[in-house]
Amino acid sequence: MTNDQQKLGVALVGLGRYSEGQLGPALTETQHCYLAGVVSGSEEKRRQWQARYDLPGSNLYHYDTLEAMAGNPAIDIVYVVLPNALHAEYVIRAAKAGKHVICEKPMATSVEECRQMIHACREAGVLLSMGYRLHFDPFNKEMMRLGQDEIFGKVKRIVADDSMTIEKEEWRLDGALAGGGPLMNNGVYCVQAALFVTGELPVAIRAEFSPKTRPDLFRTVEEGIQWEMEFASGKKAICESSYSKDGNLLRVTAERGWFELDPAYEYKGLKGRTSQGPMEFPAIRQQAAQLDDFASCVKRSGASRVPGEMGMRDVEIMMAIYESARKGGERVTLHLEAYQDMIEV
């Protein structure tokens, strides 16, 4: 077992845009972990990463050989950065190889898969965390504080929009790989924001799909979706996520003022304002903070602030959003009492 002074070794599974642009670079800045290895189906990519990050040949794996990591003490944590429908398989395989796991969002494409992932990690005695970077971002943490501590009085209404324009085919538009459209990819941030600002769990959902303006592209996933989340206290969150426009807003209206981020969910360049003036925080690399937090949890055997259960909670909410939209906006009730401890304060 690694002592507290040593950096833990992380292996990235899937070397696409997020690993390349964000996680690889973040792992050169982390204090408690570093990039020790990679898992990819491409020999060329494995070699490129080996050269760029000075990785030993013994820490390069093909998807098919991931199990061999079980005998490699240099890898402590496996970070699954694959298309959504593959998360469950790779999280479970990594857990069975005895590795702690970080899973990218959304956790999986069904609640049942999430349950199996959590079970596999428990059985193997490894920690499971979500790649929820915004929980470590100072602007988003301030939104949690302003909302939950009622700095501007009780929160009344939240407006959240996380949208991005997709112009051409990719796995995010393939329902079988993505599990859904913009809701699964971006909308998860709006769901989380509503929960971490209110400090409450939603009790009901109403949702509607946006009309398809590009049906050739959006054959198996929605092009856009709008939904309302109702909380027992009467608070409401009005949310939207689309692949046919850009949007990046989190706006909260409270009894005695308002506070907002715009952009709210980006990796950097977030801007915050309240009814009393601008928010000022130093820029950080969210992914480095998130990775270091998880590595610290592993070192002290403590639970992550963004555990698998939180990922499952969010998938359960997103499934209810889809159910309501499929039923033409019918009110769908939620019973999330089991997740009461999953609200971050």
Taking each helix axis from N to C end, the angle separating 111-124 and 308-326, rounded to the nearest 10 degrees, works out to 170
If the CB atoms of residues 185 and 226 are measured against ligand NAD, the closer one turns out to be: 185
CA distances from 83 to 24, 109, 163, 180 (A): 17, 10, 19, 11
58 and 72 in contact (C-beta within 8 Å)?
yes
* Min CB(22)–ligand NAD separation in Å: 7
Site string (122-141) toward ligand NAD, x via CB under 6 A = ---------x-x--------
Examine the residue annotation and report whether 327 is marked as an active-site residue of this protein: no
- Residues 6 or more apart in contact with residue 49 via CB below 8 angstroms: 15, 24, 38, 40, 55, 60
19 CB neighbour count, 10 Å cutoff? 24
User: In this structure, what DSSP letter does residue 184 have?
Assistant: I
Q: Considering only 14-22, 52-60, 255-263, 327-335, which stretch makes contact with ligand NAD by CB under 6 A?
A: 14-22
- Residues 6 or more apart in contact with residue 263 via CB below 8 angstroms: 248, 249, 269, 270, 271
Q: Distance (Å, rounded) from C-alpha 54 to C-alpha 195? A: 41
* Min CB(30)–ligand NAD separation in Å: 16
* Min CB(208)–ligand NAD separation in Å: 23
If the CB atoms of residues 221 and 334 are measured against ligand NAD, the closer one turns out to be: 221
Out of 74, 151, 164, 177, point to the residue binding ligand NAD (CB under 6 A): 177
Binding to ligand NAD, residues 60-89 (CB under 6 A): 81-84, 86
Site string (16-35) toward ligand NAD, x via CB under 6 A = xxxx----------------
In 3D space, the residue among 173, 184, 39 whose CA is nearest the CA of residue 108 turns out to be: 184
Contact between 185 and ligand NAD per CB under 6 A = yes
* Min CB(15)–ligand NAD separation in Å: 5
Report which residue's Cβ sits closest to ligand NAD. 16
| Alpha helix stretches (DSSP H) within 229-334 | 286-300, 308-326
Q: Considering only 13-21, 152-160, 239-247, 294-302, which stretch makes contact with ligand NAD by CB under 6 A?
A: 13-21
Q: Considering only 12-20, 193-201, 209-217, 250-258, which stretch makes contact with ligand NAD by CB under 6 A?
A: 12-20
Q: Distance (Å, rounded) from C-alpha 171 to C-alpha 308? A: 23
* Strand ordering across the sheet containing 60-61: 60-61, 33-39, 8-13, 77-80, 100-103, 128-130
Examine the residue annotation and report whether 245 is marked as an active-site residue of this protein: no
Binding residues vs ligand NAD (CB under 6 A): 14-19, 41, 81-84, 86, 104-105, 131, 133, 171, 177, 185
The residues annotated with a catalytic role in the active site are 105, 189
